[in-house]
Amino acid sequence: MLESLVKFRSAKEKPWIVAFWAFIISSVAVFFSTQIYSQVQVSGVSISISGIFAVLFTIIPSIYFVTLFIKSEERLEEEEIAKHYKKGFFERHERDILMFLFYFLGLTISFAVWSLVLEPSFFQIQLSTICGINPAFCSSPGLAGGITGIASGQTAFGSFFIYITNNIQVMLFAFIFSIVFGAGAIFIIVWNASILGVVIGNLSKTLMEIPFYGLSYLPHGLPEIAGYICAGLAGGILSAAIIRGHHKRGVFRVVLFDSMKILILGIALIILGAAIEAWLPALLI
């Protein structure tokens, strides 16, 4: 039922609606996860995996909706190409990228709110990942800033190289995963939303502080996530075109070029995000 709350036409015309839908399905997923108490033993230490269930329960309805959305979008693009519509690249895909950005925003807010409300142990998996990325967050949460800054022991250029290498790998994985599974990039989007949401929720002391800390991650987080979204969208559209058998017609060539353009846009956004993350903190000091 949850996966059917938002229709393709509504999401296409009003992408911001998807943020509310994402908030609802994520909140329901977290609520059900609170009823599942599960732990695993790692090196003799018990770790709660409730946060993983929250991610998985969010992915399940999301895959259905995103798969239908991508297939519908590819079909519309095919019709436009066949009728020789003169829409430009951005005109054809800007609302798609916006929809996924609002989807990520809704998930992030949901995880931030629940992270503030629930015990820290609920999102223990996410917190462990965060501490691995930024040890300073765990040693001094109150001082952890939104802009991560220069990696330990690295120059700004060294940090930039580390960020861009890691993020490009994730982006290409999202692209390949989407070609193979259609909506495969959803896991990467939901997981990153849960990580960012948990960070914001742990830094915030009240609900009113969530927007403040969220905005502090906006400079580098927005282009980085947009890059992942572009990769997932590019792979998903290409996957749908291959399944529909457009390689027998000229339509496939246009779809392929559009997919590559979206992927290149994603790479550019990843580079921009890495540059901001590496150099902006130094400029603000």
Does residue 50 contact residue 37 with C-beta atoms inside 8 Å?
Answer: yes
Task: Report the chain's mean pLDDT, rounded to a whole number.
Answer: 76
Residue 284 CB contacts under 8 Å (≥ 6 apart), including other chains: 147
Domain boundaries, the chain: 2-284
pLDDT for residue 110 is more than 90: yes
Cα(19)–Cα(4) distance, integer angstroms: 14
DSSP letter assigned to residue 205: S
Q: Using one digit for the tens of pLDDT, what is the confidence trace for 59-70? A: 888 887 777 776
Does residue 224 contact residue 160 with C-beta atoms inside 8 Å?
Answer: no
Q: Using one digit for the tens of pLDDT, what is the confidence trace for 71-89? A: 676 666 666 665 555 555 5
pTM of the model: 0.78
Cα(240)–Cα(71) distance, integer angstroms: 6
What count of other Cβ atoms lies within 10 Å of the Cβ of residue 73? 22
